[in-house]
Copies of this chain bind each other. A is one copy, B any other.
Amino acid sequence: MELKILSNINSPVDLKNLTIGELNILAQEIRETLLEKISQTGGHFAPNLGIIEATIALHYVFNSPIDKFVFDVSHQTYPHKILTGRKDAFLNKDKYGTVTGFTNPHESDHDFFTIGHTSTSISLACGLAKGRDLLNGKENIVAIIGDGSLSGGEAYEGLNNAAVSGKNIIILVNDNNMSIAKNHGGLYKDLELLRETKGKSENNFFKSLGFEYHFVDDGNNIEKLIEALKKVKDIDHPVVVHMHTIKGKGYKDAVKHLEFYHYVSPFDLKNPKLMLEKKGESYSDISENFLIKKAKGDKSVVVITAATPGSVGLQKFREECKEQYIDVGIAEEHAIALVSGISKRGAKPVVEAVGTFLQRTYDQLSQDLAINNNPATIVVHHGGISNSSITHYGIFDIPLISNIPNIVYLAPTTKEEYLAMLEWSIEQRQYPVAIRVPNTAVISTGEEVEPKFDNLNKFLKVESGNQIAIIGLGDFFHLGKKVYDELKKIGINSTLINPRFITGIDEEMLYKLLEGHELVITLEDGVLDGGFGEKISRFYSDKDIKVLNFGAKKEFVESVPLKELYERYHLTEKLIIEDIMKIFK
């Protein structure tokens, strides 16, 4: 592909002297670059295709990095990266891996924050603006936020405060009528009305909060965008620019199937249907099939997601059980308080959540749900050590959830155990229950497990031995089994335990281990600090037995291969055995 314009763009200043015609060609070149690159590597597809023109206009009108852009959730910043000296990472196959998928201050002075969760940009921009004012700066601060992110409480808190700041802050609302999934909430009817009336509707959410308001009908028209942004540049008060863009613009199949093309795995641009092929059964499929059956048999069962039906696996459920499906949009706090209320009224709510996003709702877990001790089920997906982006690293759910009183947090090890826990949790009326979906391929024993977990904190002894006891939590039970097998090979007949419960310890069983065992090891797929193993260490700390806790170190990591992390944390049977042997020396 020939890049007439892009080949000369190495920083935003290179845009300044281009004509509108050249900027339009540049947009086309960036679009082609993105289509090729993302289809090869995977990544956020439709969000980036939709914001190319706006990114060009922003960099044309403003003077980054003096003027500062804060991109909400920042998965739509590939065009921004291309324009700010990082185009090689999108053009050169050998350099594809050299930039992250989100803004990253370690990569460029044009990025101010590492961002990956939604709804944060306005508050962060308010901070940059307040810092500017305290230090007598003069630059523009621009937050760029998608309509989907506007349903999150943090975005609203930011808007409410930005509105009265009395100083320069520009909020560019990128309205493509779509979150990851379809948007939900009253605000979206207002945005629709504003789009239909070209910004002239009487009811205007932004004006009601006190903002000066501008509307840009075609947010993929560079000329119109430049005109609009020039009007607000160097403004001395808060302003909202509401632009209407086409998510997925330039790839027909994406515009048709927006939810699907939000984030893609590598695919063939010319034959996109292949993407729909599925590989094997996942825990999400198991959840979904179970919940569909459950919901059809019991009209009081209701399943809630906070805008991630794809990540947790609810697309079929959504179709088949309409009235028993609620997508609250990006609004995790609401989701948790909601299920407390649903449960209090006697129905049976199940939240399907992504672990890292549950972080957004600690207080609701504690106050709305746990203090009230209402029976609701929270299914926690993608908790555990992974090669994910730093902002989506899922090792913190155990300290987050398990140190709150009243909540029962369960760690199934197999498909059958998972289903038994889910069934038990939905039907019991005593506890708020969270279930940690194994972060692995499905392991099935074929042997049904009884859905009975009322006897809280009873661990399951799977193998009885002596000398060493292995407590393997959830998906790491299987790592425990490997250690057990290795120990057997060298003549040690150890004890193997599936604790099942994260939120409490089986004191009776732990006391019994004091007989005949010299060492207890714990294995957990999460951070050690504040986690499960430390509770075992505390229990044994005044007793005559040693303990080794295996799990992740308290640190943020950016897209590190799983194998490397497992080595780093000694989470392979070989390294575990080595550590055990140091004790026995």
Seen from chain A, the residues whose Cβ lies within 8 Å of a Cβ on chain B are: 70, 105, 112-117, 120, 123-132, 134-135, 137, 151-164, 184-187, 189-190, 202-205, 207-211, 299-300, 302, 323-324, 326, 328-329, 331, 333-334, 337-347, 349, 359-364, 366-368, 370-372, 390-391, 396, 399-400, 402-406, 519, 527-531, 533-535, 537-538, 540-543, 546-549, 554-556, 583
Contacts and interface: CB of A to CB of B under 8 A. Distances in A.
Given A207-B203, A535-B534, A117 B344 contact: no
A370 B406 CA distance: 28
Given A157-B151, A534-B535, A342 B208 contact: no
Contact of A345 (B135, B299, B326, B342): B135
B337 A154 contact: yes
A341 B530 contact: no
A546 B539 CA distance: 11
B208 A127 contact: no
Sorted from nearest, which 6 A-B pairs have the closest CB atoms?
Answer: A127-B341, A153-B153, A131-B345, A163-B186, A123-B337, A530-B530
B209 A556 contact: no
A476 to B, nearest CB: 17
Contact of A131 (B203, B208, B342): B342
**A341, A363, A540, A583 interface centre (most CB from chain B within 10 Å):** A341
A367 B391 contact: yes
Given A113-B340, A362-B400, 16 more contacts: A120-B337, A123-B337, A127-B341, A129-B341, A130-B342, A131-B341, A134-B299, A134-B324, A152-B153, A159-B186, A160-B334, A371-B556, A405-B554, A530-B534, A533-B538, A538-B547
A187 B203 contact: no
A334 B364 contact: no
**A334, A404, A583 interface centre (most CB from chain B within 10 Å):** A334
A334 B189 contact: no
Copies of this chain, count: 2
B326 A367 contact: no
A538 B537 CA distance: 5
Given A333-B154, A534-B530, A534-B535, A338 B403 contact: no
A335 to B, nearest CB: 8
Given A120-B364, A326-B130, A338-B130, A538 B528 contact: yes
Contacts of A366: 359, 396
B391 A347 contact: no
A337 B158 contact: yes
**A210, A333, A362 interface centre (most CB from chain B within 10 Å):** A333
Contact of A209 (B134, B187, B345): B187
A529 B504 CA distance: 10
A571 to B, nearest CB: 16
30 contacts: A123-B334, A123-B364, A124-B340, A124-B341, A125-B341, A126-B337, A126-B338, A127-B340, A127-B344, A127-B345, A131-B344, A131-B346, A134-B300, A151-B160, A153-B155, A154-B333, A157-B329, A161-B329, A164-B189, A185-B209, A186-B208, A189-B210, A190-B210, A203-B208, A359-B362, A405-B554, A529-B530, A529-B535, A538-B549, A541-B541
A342 to B, nearest CB: 4
A344 B326 CA distance: 38
A317 to B, nearest CB: 15
A391 B209 CA distance: 31
B530 A403 contact: yes
A131 B331 CA distance: 19
A157 B399 CA distance: 26
**A113, A115, A155, A531 interface centre (most CB from chain B within 10 Å):** A113
Contact of A154 (B164, B364, B535): B364
Contacts of A342: 127-128, 130-131, 134
A347 B130 contact: yes
A556 B406 contact: yes
Contacts of A400: 362
Contacts of A113: 340-341, 344, 368, 372
Nearest to A328: B161
Nearest to A344: B112
Given A135-B300, A208-B208, A342-B131, A367 B359 contact: yes
A519 B185 CA distance: 58
